[in-house]
């Protein structure tokens, strides 16, 4: 089916595929793909979600927030988000204070923060007031336990910055002892901070001299409230890689303290309280792997993380997307958005004539869950093949994956956006009638854009110490590299450098030829000569 220039101008000129940055993506909910990890989070299978930058951690985080009213109505589940909804990390405002914190200080900071968040966004939230009316005694006990710990009875709802400021300032005013023991039978940690308020604390802030007590008492009181009211609470935290300077002592202490607080924040045995963390997989290695730690802190030994196995007992697999899921992601964004002209070209509006757009969307969602239906739509939008052997889907997937075989939604959306812009420019100069919406040359142009964004926006920002080595690969100008080539480039430490570049996703080892190759994803951005 040939698309004439006049019709094509309407189709390509009006296509909107959303944004590759989850915080700015208006299609995130309507075009979502319910991957196993997403379902695992919603079903409370996972508490720690691991993934590369751009792999979809923030998308899942934001989707949980978007579904909060549904989850509250269906499951009495209260979602408390621990970051600014715009994505800007308010934690950055307290970097100077964090520099002096030990791992134990951070554990207690996070506990104070969680308590204050629950107090402020749950107990003081008007929409929960009616259901909490039956919990008057339990709330009184909770307030009493909080007051003894120096947490005032908040009279009105505070902003996130005020909550953080209180948590930071409270830690200055208390002496904390954190005896940690492990209960093997129940597979839980008991880290019970003993808070003792020092003399001279400002009483106007609600903090006064008091006896020592365990924060566990506050959790126990909260557990009674949740049991009686029927509520469940999830505190969800994302963008943890932006809270501290990358690979700094503050980041190590802060996130290790968070992991300890996550596991040891004990408020009962009914499972009505969860803390869910969205964490980059390389950050986990930094916190738990001796070699990764030593790389950033030479001649220092990695401190033990008590019961690490149990801390990570509810972690997800590292976020990855299958070829079928990428196909569904692309088609969802093209067909479930506002692209009316594209739907007209594909005959969708005619097929469902008389139905409202919301009704058509539901029909399409069902269709796009079916492999054969996706294939029929795909072959009208993309060429059936790009190379002599690979289908266009297989080609796109293989050219967007890194050396760890991970394709991120961000790279897919960047590629589509690049292809759209390429076609818009071509419309002004040398457009020929086309049989598909995205000809081969536009897809290749889109790959160039995705490659550039991946290298400059992700890799260089996340791994600044490796920039010099990566630029040497660009200077070398070839995608096949022997061991001797790499030794010449990187010197005597070449094996460790190559190991790092493999973990980052740039280099792949090919056993048959005993050589290393720069994967397709990074070749355009590095200016490496190769054939598509």
For the stretch 12-41, what's the b/e string if a residue is b when 16 or more beta carbons lie within 10 angstroms of its beta carbon? beebebbebebbebebbeebbbebebbebb
Residue length, the chain?
532
Round to whole Å and give the CA distance between 454 and 456: 6
pLDDT the model gives residue 267: 54
Q: Encode the chain (532 residues) as per-residue pLDDT tens digits.
A: 788 888 888 899 899 999 988 888 888 988 999 999 999 999 999 999 999 989 999 999 999 999 999 999 999 999 998 765 444 466 777 888 888 889 988 888 888 888 888 888 899 899 999 999 999 999 999 888 887 776 666 666 667 777 777 777 767 665 444 333 334 333 333 333 444 434 333 444 433 333 333 467 777 888 899 999 999 999 999 988 788 888 899 999 999 999 988 887 655 546 789 999 999 998 999 999 998 898 889 889 999 888 888 889 999 999 999 999 999 999 999 999 878 999 999 999 999 999 998 899 999 999 999 999 999 999 999 999 998 888 999 999 999 999 999 999 999 999 999 999 999 998 888 777 788 999 999 999 999 999 999 999 999 988 998 999 999 999 999 999 999 999 999 999 999 999 999 999 999 999 999 999 999 999 999 999 766 5
370: left (phi > 0), else alpha (psi -120 to 50), else beta?
beta
Tokens 């992601």, residue located: 329
pLDDT the model gives residue 380: 94
Round to whole Å and give the CA distance between 182 and 201: 34
Residues of the chain with pLDDT > 70, as a percent, come to 86
**Contact 185/117 with Cβ under 8 angstroms?**
no
Tokens 């309407």, residue located: 10
Give the chain's radius of gyration (CA, Å): 26
The pair of structure tokens assigned to 255 is 């996130």
pLDDT, tens only, 489-516: 999 999 999 999 999 999 999 999 999 9
pLDDT, tens only, 102-155: 998 888 888 888 888 888 889 989 999 999 999 999 999 988 888 777 666 666
pLDDT the model gives residue 302: 92
pTM of the model: 0.85
pLDDT the model gives residue 209: 36
Q: What ranges do the domains of the chain cover? A: 5-18+321-462, 36-311, 465-532
Round to whole Å and give the CA distance between 66 and 83: 14
Q: Which helix (H) or strand (E) holds 41?
A: helix 36-42
What's the 3-state SS for 242-292? Answer: HCCCCCCHHHHHHHHHHHHHHHHCCCCCCCCEEEEEEEEHHHHHHHHCHHH
Instruction: Identify the architecture of domain 465-532 in CATH.
Output: Orthogonal Bundle (1.10)
């Amino acid at each position: 089916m040939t698309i004439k220039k006049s019709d094509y101008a309407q189709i390509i000129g009006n296509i909107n595929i959303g944004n590759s940055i989850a915080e700015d993506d208006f299609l995130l909910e309507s075009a979502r793909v319910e991957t196993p990890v997403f379902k695992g989070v919603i079903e409370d299978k996972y508490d720690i979600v691991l993934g590369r930058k751009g792999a979809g951690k923030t998308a899942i985080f934001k989707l949980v927030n978007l579904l909060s009213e549904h989850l509250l109505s269906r499951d009495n589940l209260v979602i408390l988000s621990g970051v600014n909804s715009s994505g800007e990390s308010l934690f950055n405002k307290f970097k100077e204070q964090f520099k002096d914190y030990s791992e134990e200080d951070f554990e207690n900071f996070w506990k104070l923060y969680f308590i204050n968040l629950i107090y402020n966004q749950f107990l003081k939230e008007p929409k929960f007031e009616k259901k909490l009316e039956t919990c008057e005694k339990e709330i009184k006990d909770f307030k009493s336990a909080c007051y003894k710990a120096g947490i005032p009875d908040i009279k009105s709802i505070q902003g996130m910055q005020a909550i953080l400021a209180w948590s930071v300032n409270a830690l200055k005013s208390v002496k904390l002892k954190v005896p940690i023991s492990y209960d093997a039978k129940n597979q839980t940690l008991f880290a019970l901070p003993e808070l003792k308020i020092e003399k001279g604390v400002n009483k106007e802030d609600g903090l006064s001299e008091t006896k020592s007590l365990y924060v566990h008492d506050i959790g126990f009181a909260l557990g009674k409230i949740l049991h009686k009211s029927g509520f469940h609470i999830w505190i969800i935290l994302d963008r943890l890689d932006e809270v501290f300077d990358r690979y700094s002592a503050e980041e190590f202490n802060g996130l290790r303290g968070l992991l300890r607080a996550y596991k040891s924040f004990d408020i009962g045995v009914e499972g009505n309280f969860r803390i869910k963390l969205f964490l980059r997989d390389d950050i986990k290695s930094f916190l738990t792997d001796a070699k990764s730690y030593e790389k950033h802190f030479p001649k220092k030994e990695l401190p033990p993380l008590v019961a690490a196995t149990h801390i990570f007992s509810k972690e997800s697999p590292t976020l990855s997307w299958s070829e079928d899921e990428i196909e569904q992601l692309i088609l969802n964004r093209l067909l479930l958005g506002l692209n009316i002209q594209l739907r007209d070209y594909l005959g969708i509006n005619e097929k469902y004539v008389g139905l409202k757009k919301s009704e058509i969307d539901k029909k399409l969602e069902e269709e796009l869950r079916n492999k054969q239906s996706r294939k029929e739509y795909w072959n009208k939008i993309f060429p059936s093949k790009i190379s002599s052997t690979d289908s266009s889907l297989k080609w796109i997937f293989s050219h967007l994956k890194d050396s760890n075989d991970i394709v991120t939604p961000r790279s897919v959306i960047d590629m589509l956006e690049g292809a759209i812009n390429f076609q818009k420019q071509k419309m002004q100069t040398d457009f020929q009638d086309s049989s598909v919406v995205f000809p081969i040359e536009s897809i290749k142009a889109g790959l160039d854009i995705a490659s550039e964004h991946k290298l400059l926006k992700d890799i260089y920002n996340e791994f600044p110490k490796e920039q010099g080595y990566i630029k040497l690969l660009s200077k070398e100008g070839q995608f096949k590299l022997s061991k001797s080539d790499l030794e010449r480039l990187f010197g005597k430490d070449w094996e460790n450098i190559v190991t790092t570049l493999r973990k980052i996703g740039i280099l792949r080892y090919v056993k048959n030829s005993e050589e290393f190759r720069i994967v397709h994803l990074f070749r355009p951005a590095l200016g490496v000569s190769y054939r598509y």
